[in-house]
Amino acid sequence: MTLTKITPAEARARIAEGAALVDIRAADEHARSHIPGALNAPLGTAFNLGDAPAVIYHCRSGMRTDANAAQLAAASPCEAYLLEGGIEAWRQAGLPVITDAKAPLEIMRQVQITAGLLVLLGVIGALTVTPWLIGLSAFVGAGLTFAGLTGWCGMAKLLALMPWNRRAAA
């Protein structure tokens, strides 16, 4: 079963008719910005649509929903659609998006920033201090390769434990 792509305007109309909007991004991405009323159900998690006549899946840009369309179609108990262009297209259409600027950056963005800085420091250190510091860049490269091959990222696990990524007790 293939899923039909719909524009933000079409999605808004279907939502008004009772369709459920499901954000397939990770919880940290959803916390930083989301479409009002969207249910957060990262890929592979179970969710309950209640009696919604249809479901509209979205991600940030539409690439993740496109790449996982077969899995999303199989998980859909009713008529299902993909929001073309994701939350970015929704925002560009002038539709409301809730943004929490105080929420931490998404973990994968933190990994990219940290890994990039460590590689840069390793190269600069190897050129200016001691050639042995190139090992830092090699270590980070090996870690990223391991993460890509296995799906387990030690740097992401470590960053998730940092104080800025912990929710304050309410």
CA Rg, the chain, in Å? 20
CA separation for the pair 32, 27 (Å, rounded): 9
Q: Locate tokens 């994968």: which residue?
A: 108
Catalytic residue among 15, 52, 59, 119: 59
Nearest to 20 by CA among 54, 46, 43: 54
Confirm whether 78 is a catalytic residue: no
CA separation for the pair 142, 144 (Å, rounded): 5
What pairs with residue 33 in β-bridges? 99
CA separation for the pair 12, 81 (Å, rounded): 12
Identify residue 27 by its one-letter amino acid code: A
58 near 23, Cβ under 8 Å?
A: yes
CA separation for the pair 116, 75 (Å, rounded): 37
Q: What positions carry a catalytic annotation?
A: 59
